Structure 1
């Protein structure tokens, strides 16, 4: 329908949480499932099942977007939809496919979040995970303007988020302040990605070089005048 994607995503998130509250009656619900218990407690080759599944998902997505035409068309549409359309690509189908894949992966994230505690807390389960997702991909080098992404960088970013959460706990930062801390990190990274900010740094760097070179230029002028 051509709606603004980010706003639509937030609205659907609120809708989903509202539906979850209706289904559960607003009460916490225990996850009585052998499958969930297997994900949260079992190991495969000495590694937690959730970790193995996550690695398999990353490998599968990497295979699809880096070894098929889909990945190239995704980047093309992200860089310039108009140019992609002129090249024969249908951006609507690509965007729809990306959102479907994103929804499936978000569902897997929900399974992991629930399996870890074996309880669905309507008011807490999945809360603020959207901030972690944004922070992970931004740290991993993905441009929020579209067209450039790194799956390996996003995976590393997710690991850094886990480390960051533990660091915040270690530093005794109040849990209420944690979202603000993460938001500050996202803002700083986004500013560093901004072309305007980069140009400002370049201008300041050139100005610094001019100021540093000024004394030497003055001495050269004095020598010329004296001669």
Structure 2
């Protein structure tokens, strides 16, 4: 059975922690890297370094705990990789024993080595519907998703989304399947119980890849649709 492809561990970690925490982590890392012996005394360099690594370890631990609790799921290749090797789901109990390399999207310990780790959110089982399907007008191979749309792919762009954002994408996908892909953005966000009526606000943090790979505006003001190539441009309003 072909598995739904997930988000590489490195990118999934960035999406998991959110933009605010990621920016703070990046700020601390740059401060640590810029604290050279020529510009900063030893004690201050240690303080700056500790501030960066303590936050990094805290965020990484939260991510691993989500894997251990089953809130996130992962698949990977096990080494040694052989011609018949295939991607496998990794059980949640093993994560407490593994040393995870977030930059390399790998993990290892006790003779086990996992490479090319990919992450899913809320995926409790592999369903046939998650496999790549034959081409269709609105649900062809350019778009796939898990059951609650918290893990989606549009062409080469993969996203891990919150449950609220998953509801937004699910609503647009339903509209696409029904042949009327254009929806009023404010109404969709209200239906998903967002306080904001701005996509740029609710998708804050989804910049790599950009959330605009998922949704595009239409010729009607305030209307958006899924960015599926199968849709014909809508006529300009009279």
After TM superposition, the score normalised by the length of structure 1 is 0.28
Which structure has more strand as a fraction of its residues?
2
In our comparison, the structure showing a higher alpha carbon Rg is 1
After TM superposition, the score normalised by the length of structure 2 is 0.27
